Structure 1
Amino acid sequence: MAQFRFMDLEIWKESIALNDQLFNLADAFTDAKSYRVAEQLRSASLSISNNIAEGSGSFSSKDFANFLNIARRSVFETANISVVAHRKNFIDDETFNQIIEDLDILSRKITNFRKAILKNN
């Protein structure tokens, strides 16, 4: 079976795991008023892993670093949507705190990986 470079990256694996959690959470938003927030949460969280994967196919470290920057910005977008969902009581306190902690850790890992690939060139 063919394997793509991104499939070996810890940050991609973590972003996919977080995406699974956030998709499941968004699926639980049953109120019609929460539909748009759920869609935004799915989209923003999917953008994290998408940009890591897309960037891994770059021919240059500088180009890959740009995609990692976009992925990191998507982490921040996901955090913002999570804040909105929490404020609207779509997400309970415990779940919200865990999401924010996981996003913070992922953001730091993406930043450190980005610095490492730029430093090695």
Structure 2
Amino acid sequence: MDKFKFEKLIIWQKAMDFGEVIDKLSLEFPDREKFNLSSQICRASDSIALNISEGSIGQSNLEQKKFIGYSIRSLAEVVTCLFKAKRKNYITEKQFTYLYDESYHLMNMMSAFRKNIN
């Protein structure tokens, strides 16, 4: 069914999966965080896949590299939100470690992808 080229990108697929995990996790945060940390972490995690897809439609390789950079920055924002959630005891150490490792793996994949754009 892949009608858009970004659908074939493993980094886009992984970013989509990662966003769903983060969304589910944020539902466990206290209600008082609905418009704060929950909203922030969901927007940032969604932005990862959104920027990958937007960059893939671009007119130039330079533009695609720029949007992958935006995705990496959004991922860094998610990681910071994870640290905040851990400090506030909204997530366990085990949840944090798993998502931190997933974030690091995704960042490495995106960095390698960006380097290979000619």
Q: TM-score range by the shorter chain?
A: over 0.9
1:44-83 correspondence to structure 2 within 5 Å: 44-83=44-83
TM-superposition CA deviations, 1:5-53 (whole Å, max 9, x none): 1100000000000001000001122x23322111111000001000001
Unaligned residue ranges in structure 1 (runs of 5+): none
- CA spacing shift, 1:108–1:2, aligned 2, 3 Å: closer
Residue in structure 2 matched with residue 33 of structure 1 by the alignment: 32
Taking the TM superposition and a 5 Å limit, the aligned residue runs for 1:3-42 are 3-29=3-29, 31-35=30-34, 36-42=36-42
Write the distance in 1 (CA, Å) between the matches of 2:100 and 2:11. 16
Give the AA of the match of 2:8: D
Compute the TM-score of the two structures, normalised by the length of structure 2.
0.95
Q: Structure 2 counterpart of 1:113, which letter?
A: F
Q: How far apart are the structure 2 equivalents of 1:34 and 1:99?
A: 19
The one-letter amino acid paired with 2:33 is: S
CA–CA distance in structure 2, aligned partners of residues 33 and 87 of structure 1: 16
Give the structure 2 partner of residue 99 of structure 1. Answer: 99
Instruction: Give 1:68's aligned amino acid.
Output: I
Gaps of 5+ in 2: none
Q: Percent identity?
A: 30
Distance in 1 separating the partners of 2:33 and 2:85: 8
How far 1:2 sits from its partner (Å)?
6.0
Q: Distance in 2 between matches of 1:61 and 1:101?
A: 29
Q: CA RMSD in A?
A: 1.1
